[in-house]
């Protein structure tokens, strides 16, 4: 297992964690929100914890200071809108920046002109924007129309033209099944499936029941010489070994290398590592 640690993201900081909470800075805005894994003691003084713009408590954001909503967070060429969502997130998962950097490097160094990238469960689109900025043509699939709208904002905010990304509001399994019939292929695939969810027509998604079918579909739409596959999972009650084994089956006979482990962020105060999710990626 390999720990992938967030680095070189000046607009983000995990200030401290503990007591079931994490204290973070996105740009100039400091927030505090629950994290059920952070059961240890806090390292930062209480006045640091109290000096927040917003606190998520009992399902709601409590504003302590006035902030713009949304506000802008920068990562290299990428510009992203952060906003206080009802789900305690701000629309940005900073630990994913390690993959934004990796995919940018692979795409820019690829011999394929305008490689095709499929981003399934694309959410607010940071991965889609980073791949498009690097020169790929991205197909972004998500079941939520508000998430697609949010992702489009991030595309335009980052200076990309309207036709840089193809937006699809659809169920991931239904979409990939149609792509098989159409004979469409992708040079790279990014998957970030939730544990449970619903498609736009109410199609049920259950990670443990549906992931094998989705991966089988993905295997059938990979181009003959794919570049990378990234497989993330949050709130899955399993280890990265599961993702590793699934990705091993998917990439059989493709060569390349698989790396799996945990995505982690280092605190500023305690220098402890906070795990945010599990991952497995394959690259040629």
Residues 68 and 110 in one domain: no
Whether 86 maps to a domain, the answer reads: no
Band of the pLDDT at 1, cuts 50, 70, 90?
Answer: confident
Of 146, 203, 153, the residue nearest 174 (C-alpha)? 203
pLDDT at 60: 95
Its domain, for residue 247, covers: 92-283
Residues 126 and 194 in one domain: yes
Check pLDDT > 90 for residue 21: yes
Convert the pLDDT of each residue in 216-230 to its tens digit. Answer: 999 999 999 999 999
- Alpha-carbon gap, residue 282 to 262, rounded angstroms: 15
Check pLDDT > 80 for residue 236: no
Residues 117 and 60 in one domain: no
Q: What CATH number corresponds to the domain at position 58? A: 2.60.40.1180
Residues 106 and 62 in one domain: no
Q: What is the pTM of this model?
A: 0.96
Residues 46 and 145 in one domain: no
Q: What CATH number corresponds to the domain at position 230? A: 3.40.50.150
From 17, 39, 73, the end of a domain falls on 73
Check pLDDT > 90 for residue 234: no
Average pLDDT, stretch 150-165?
95
From 44, 73, 102, the end of a domain falls on 73
Residues 234 and 137 in one domain: yes
Least confident of 90-94, 160-164, 165-169, 221-225: 160-164
Residues 194 and 275 in one domain: yes
């Amino acid at each position: 297992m390999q720990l992938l640690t967030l680095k070189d993201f000046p607009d983000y900081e995990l200030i401290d964690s503990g007591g079931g909470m994490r204290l973070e800075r996105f740009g100039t805005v400091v927030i505090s929100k629950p994290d059920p894994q952070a059961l240890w003691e806090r390292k930062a003084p209480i006045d640091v914890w109290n000096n927040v713009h917003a606190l998520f408590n009992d399902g709601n954001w409590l504003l302590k200071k006035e902030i713009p909503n949304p506000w802008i967070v920068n990562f290299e060429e990428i510009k992203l809108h952060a906003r206080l969502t009802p789900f305690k997130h701000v629309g940005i998962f900073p630990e994913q920046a390690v993959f934004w950097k990796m995919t940018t490097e692979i795409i820019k160094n690829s011999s394929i002109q305008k490689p095709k990238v499929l981003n399934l469960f694309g959410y607010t689109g940071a991965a889609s924007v980073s791949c498009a900025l690097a020169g790929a043509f991205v197909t972004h699939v998500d079941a939520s129309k508000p998430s697609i709208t949010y992702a489009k904002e991030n595309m335009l905010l980052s200076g990309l033209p309207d036709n840089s990304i193809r937006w699809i509001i659809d169920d991931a399994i239904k979409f990939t099944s149609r792509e098989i019939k159409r004979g469409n292929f992708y040079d790279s695939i990014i998957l970030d499936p939730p544990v449970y969810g619903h498609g736009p027509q109410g199609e049920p998604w259950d990670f443990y029941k549906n992931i094998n079918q989705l991966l089988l579909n993905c295997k059938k739409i990979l181009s003959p010489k794919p570049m990378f596959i990234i497989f993330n999972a949050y709130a899955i009650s399993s280890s990265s070994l599961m993702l590793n084994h699934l990705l091993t089956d998917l990439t059989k006979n493709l060569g390349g290398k698989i790396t799996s482990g945990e995505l982690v962020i280092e605190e500023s105060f305690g220098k402890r590592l906070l795990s945010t999710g599990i991952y497995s990626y394959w690259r040629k």
